[in-house]
């Protein structure tokens, strides 16, 4: 789900960079020393999950785990995602330096939305409710990220209309897979490390 360099227009790149800087500033202000190991682990998980790519025109499809990252980190998702994307750009040429801001927004904004929508459901008393919340977080993370990529492509020119449509359609199966994976991880964490989900699970 990385946008390659040389694809989106300069104003889109500038807006994405500004939004990424603002989001990272908020995230870093909310981050404390005790959160550092958790952020490092989740940034690494994001880095690894995104390594297997299926090319789709000027972008690609892959597992993301941004819904899970949002549930566990909230606003700290912005710097965590930025670090993972920067390492991918430097080490594997996924995305690129010039598109780092746009790609950070594509991944981190859906993470924040999932945190706001589903974190309370995931901390509910019943495992079934938590599993549903986890599935919705995983699926919503992919859906919103795909929608943002399509939107950025459309803002960059009418020639990307068909690619944007294809990109959204290609990510529907990924939404289901990501939702299932996230639900299982949430249930696993509830059993072995419920404090990672925040609050008391009753």
Domain spans in the chain, listed from the N-terminal domain onward: 10-197
Q: What's the rounded Cα separation, in Å, for the pair 199 and 188?
A: 16
Sorting pLDDT into bands at 50, 70 and 90, what band is 191?
very high
pTM beyond 0.85, yes or no: yes
Q: How large is the average pLDDT for residues 161-179?
A: 79
- Looking at the chain, the number of H-run helices and the number of E-run strands are 7, 2
What SS3 state is found at 31? coil
Q: Give residue 104's pLDDT.
A: 96
Phi, psi at 125, each rounded to 5°: -70, -30
Q: Which CATH class is domain 10-197?
A: mainly alpha
- Greatest alpha-carbon pair distance for the chain in Å reads 52
Distance of CA 107 to the CA centre of its chain: 3
What SS3 state is found at 56? strand
* Least confident among 75-79, 99-103, 162-166, 168-172: 162-166
pLDDT of 202 over the 50 cut: no
Q: Give residue 6's pLDDT.
A: 81
Q: Give residue 56's pLDDT.
A: 57
Q: What's the rounded Cα separation, in Å, for the pair 194 and 100?
A: 33
Those residues whose C-beta lies under 8 Å from the C-beta of residue 11, and which sit 6 or more positions away, are 155
pLDDT of 53 over the 70 cut: no
Choose between 170 and 9: higher pLDDT.
9
Buried b (16+ CB within 10 A) or exposed e, 72-107: bbbbbbbbbbbbbbbebbeeeebbbebbbbbbbbbb
Q: What's the rounded Cα separation, in Å, for the pair 141 and 144?
A: 5
Q: What's the rounded Cα separation, in Å, for the pair 60 and 20?
A: 21
Q: Torsion over CA of 61, 131, 107 and 82, rounded to 10 degrees?
A: -120
Q: pLDDT tens across 59-112, in order?
A: 556 778 999 999 999 999 999 999 999 998 898 887 889 999 999 999 999 999
């Amino acid at each position: 789900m990385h946008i390659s360099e040389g694809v989106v227009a300069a104003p889109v790149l500038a807006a994405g960079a500004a939004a990424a800087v603002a989001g990272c500033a908020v995230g870093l202000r909310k981050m404390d020393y005790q959160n550092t190991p958790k952020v490092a682990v989740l940034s690494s998980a994001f880095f690894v999950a995104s390594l297997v790519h299926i090319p789709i025109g000027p972008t690609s499809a892959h597992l993301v785990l941004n819904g899970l990252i949002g549930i566990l980190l909230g606003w700290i998702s912005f710097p965590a995602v930025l670090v993972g994307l920067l390492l991918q750009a430097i080490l594997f040429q996924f995305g690129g330096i010039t598109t780092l801001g746009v790609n950070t927004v594509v991944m981190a904004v859906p993470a924040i939305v999932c945190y706001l929508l589903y974190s309370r459901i995931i901390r509910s008393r019943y495992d079934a409710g938590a599993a549903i919340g986890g599935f919705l977080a995983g699926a919503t993370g992919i859906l919103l990220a795909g929608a943002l990529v399509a939107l950025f492509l459309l803002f960059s020119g009418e020639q990307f209309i068909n690619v944007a449509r294809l990109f959204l359609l290609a990510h529907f199966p990924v939404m289901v897979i990501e939702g299932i994976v996230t639900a299982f991880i949430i249930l696993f964490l509830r059993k072995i490390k419920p404090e990672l989900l925040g609050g008391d699970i009753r």
